[in-house]
Structure 1
Amino acid sequence: MKLLTRVTSTVAFSLLAAVATLQADEVTVKQGDLELRADLTLAEGKTAKDGVIMLLHGTLAHNKMEIMQSLSDLLKEKGYNTLNVNLSYALDKRPSEMLDCTIEHKHKHEDAVAELDTWMNWLKEQGASKVAVLGHSRGGNQVAWYASEKDSELLEKVITVAPATADADKSSKEYEERYKKPLADIMSEATKLAGDGKGADMMALPGFVYCENAKAAADSVVSYYKDDERKNTPSLLPKIKKPMLIVMGSADEVVADLPAKLESVKQDNLTVETVDGADHFFMDLYADELADKVATFVDWK
């Protein structure tokens, strides 16, 4: 009976999400030669003047992946507007789907910071009175990076959901185990190319981020794999002055080191919450608890 109830609840939620999704409006904004895409969802009776929660997805993903769409739909039910951003990955009008690993990768980790800033300026033009930024996984790190370097009066609150951590030694070991080639050798070649002004040159790689047998620009390789403490979300927190919320899942194996890394972080503007039983993606009913925590923290009503 419990299983039937859960399945029925999940189906009902999926149908509700499908209806809510139809009410989102695709919006675009120009950034240089690229046209960026996002979905703007307004709660009943609300306009941008009531505030907008800007949502950012994780690694090589998109704005319609389940966790992002669920959050947008659930927050709408609670009376909050959302702007669900779709990172471009250096592609014009990139569709809302997982990034094609066969492309020539010309994007950088920090591109997201510039794109978030573009969208923040767009929201200001739409008359938004206040904005909260929320990022999941790598998007959580990118949101924190943005808040640490691009703070503004419009930015009111910062939320990271299972934000990415970073450990250079661990990353090098994992890369060699997975792709059978030392990361140090690849970084040496990429760094030399970038230093010689050839950062746009494409490199044939055994792996790039999640993509096997990939082609990526030297600058992209350096960006994603260089040892930079800003990729470790806990390292960014002391630089952020706005109220912050970090939500973790107790069963998250992707950023399993996050709780330990947060133990030494003591800030009056930081709230840390855990959703018991949730993994990295807060699927199904865990999304409801996540949305509840986000809404309680934003508290614009």
Structure 2
Amino acid sequence: MSRRTLSSVLLATLLSSPYVLAEEVQLQHNGLTLNANLQIADDSSLEDGAVLITHGTLAHNGMDIITTLQELLMDEGYNSLAINLSLGQSDRHGMYDCTTPHVHKHSDAIPEIGQWVQWLKSKGSDKIMLMAHSRGGNQTAMFADQNKDDAIKGQVLIAPQTWNQSEAAAGYEKRYEQALQPLLKQADTLSQKGGEQWLEKTGFVYCADSKVTPDAFLSYYTPDERQDTPTLLKSSSLPTLVFYGTEDKVVPDLSEKMTQVTNDNVTTVGIEGSDHYFLDLYADEVIERTLEFFETL
């Protein structure tokens, strides 16, 4: 029996055990209901610590990479809390619907991650490890950079977002056949006017013909080196483990950029053959190296 099959059997067995808790939990933040999936390992409690997991762009905590990470962590005796970023919606589930107007900002994730850290601490956790995928990796690194907390012991960033101003502009024009700079100017003008202003039928992240607030557009597209995770990590004081996949087409420059991070607090691991999502046996390797990292904290 493969480890993946064995893991699935173990998950089904553990979820039926009275000693294991897997449930949705909620909290209130800025008038929105935030939700997360909490999994407590066999014969454990949040006082033993937890891994707080954040998903990627317009995604959710039920996508394969997140559920697999929670399953494997539970198999190894680790509690985890996989959060759904609100993206401006109350009690959000599933992928973001591109037909929904975009009011969310890249930076909104930072206080939301902070709310969940505080929630874990209120439940007795004083050993919190951060884990995140893709854009969530950048948002988590931003949070850690801005919030020093003795309860947070380290962070694991899986294929975290990179950014380059010229490449971002070129990528936007290629995807949406429209120059980015005029839209940034338009968004800035509308933002300064205040009131209810919108960019209509606008390309936004993965969504074409979107309705977007100017502030949301500016948050995602205004040149900002902090959205380049390797740049943030050059000065990080938090123990950090970064994974990249050698076949990743989403952040193909991550491995090269991480060679420029000369910080003793940061370790980089390449997973040979993995794409952006580290599924199946690649996830096993991520968890194996992650557990080795946790043992050093």
TM-score after normalising by structure 2:
0.93
Give the counterpart letter for 1:266 in structure 2: T
Q: 1:202 to 1:16 in 2, by over 3 A?
A: farther
Structure 2, unpaired ranges of 5+:
none
Residue 291 of structure 1 aligns with which residue? 287
Alignment of 1:1-301 (within 5 A): 13-14=7-8, 17=11, 23-95=21-93, 97-198=94-195, 200-299=196-295
- Looking at structure 2, the residues matched to 108 and 122 of structure 1 have their Cα atoms a distance apart, in angstroms, of 22
Q: Deviations over 1:143-194 (max 9, x none)?
A: 1010000121111101100000001111111111111111111111001111
Q: Specify the SS of the correspondent of 1:274.
A: strand
RMSD across aligned C-alpha pairs, in angstroms? 1.8
Q: Specify the SS of the correspondent of 2:234.
A: helix
Give the Å deviation of 1:241.
Answer: 0.9
How many residue pairs get aligned? The number is 293
| Contact 2:157–2:241 under 8 Å retained in 1 | yes
Give the counterpart letter for 1:183 in structure 2: L
| Contact 1:43–1:80 under 8 Å retained in 2 | yes
Q: Deviations over 1:7-64 (max 9, x none)?
A: x765665565566678521100110200100011111111111111000000000001
| Contact 1:181–1:206 under 8 Å retained in 2 | no
- Looking at structure 2, the residues matched to 277 and 185 of structure 1 have their Cα atoms a distance apart, in angstroms, of 39
- Which 4+ residue blocks in structure 1 deviate beyond 6 angstroms? none
Give the Å deviation of 1:238.
Answer: 3.1
- Looking at structure 1, the residues matched to 67 and 142 of structure 2 have their Cα atoms a distance apart, in angstroms, of 23
- Looking at structure 2, the residues matched to 50 and 136 of structure 1 have their Cα atoms a distance apart, in angstroms, of 24
Give the counterpart letter for 2:280 in structure 1: D
- Looking at structure 1, the residues matched to 37 and 244 of structure 2 have their Cα atoms a distance apart, in angstroms, of 25
Structure 1, unpaired ranges of 5+:
none
| Contact 2:14–2:42 under 8 Å retained in 1 | no
TM-score after normalising by structure 1:
0.92
- Looking at structure 1, the residues matched to 190 and 15 of structure 2 have their Cα atoms a distance apart, in angstroms, of 44
Q: 1:193 to 1:18 in 2, by over 3 A?
A: farther
